[in-house]
Amino acid sequence: MHEKLIGLQGWLDVVALRHSHAINHYTTLNLTKLDILDHFDTIRVAVAYTDPSDPSAAPMTDFPEDLSVLDRCEVVYKDFPGWTGKGSVA
């Protein structure tokens, strides 16, 4: 993993993305700046949240309605193999 994550704000969060789609009903998604990921060994995607205050609860795959729950959640990531080299030949 690179120590310098210039311009990278965080990994893709599909839980938040599904929630956003449910509210906004968009039909397309534009992912930009993917060339930033050209040299990462691992690409992480947020797939669920867990609530440390309730360790017996199943991971949440739906966005919590109560933002105080979201504040205490930890993210569950699925790791995918990265790639090396140019991600685009445009």
**Average pLDDT of the residues in 28-47:** 88
- Nearest CA among 59, 39, 43 for reference residue 51: 59
What pLDDT digit, counting tens, does each position of 40-76 carry? 889 999 999 999 988 898 999 999 999 999 999 999 9
Residue 80 phi, psi (nearest 5): -120, 150
Judged against a pLDDT cut of 90, whether residue 9 lies above it is answered with: no
Residue 45 phi, psi (nearest 5): -130, 125
- Map residue 76 onto helix, strand or coil: strand
DSSP H stretches of helix in 14-89: 14-24, 67-72
Q: Which amino acid is at 34?
A: L
At 8, is the pLDDT very low, low, confident or very high (cuts 50, 70, 90)? low
Cα dihedral across residues 44, 49, 53, 54: positive or negative? negative
At 84, is the pLDDT very low, low, confident or very high (cuts 50, 70, 90)? confident
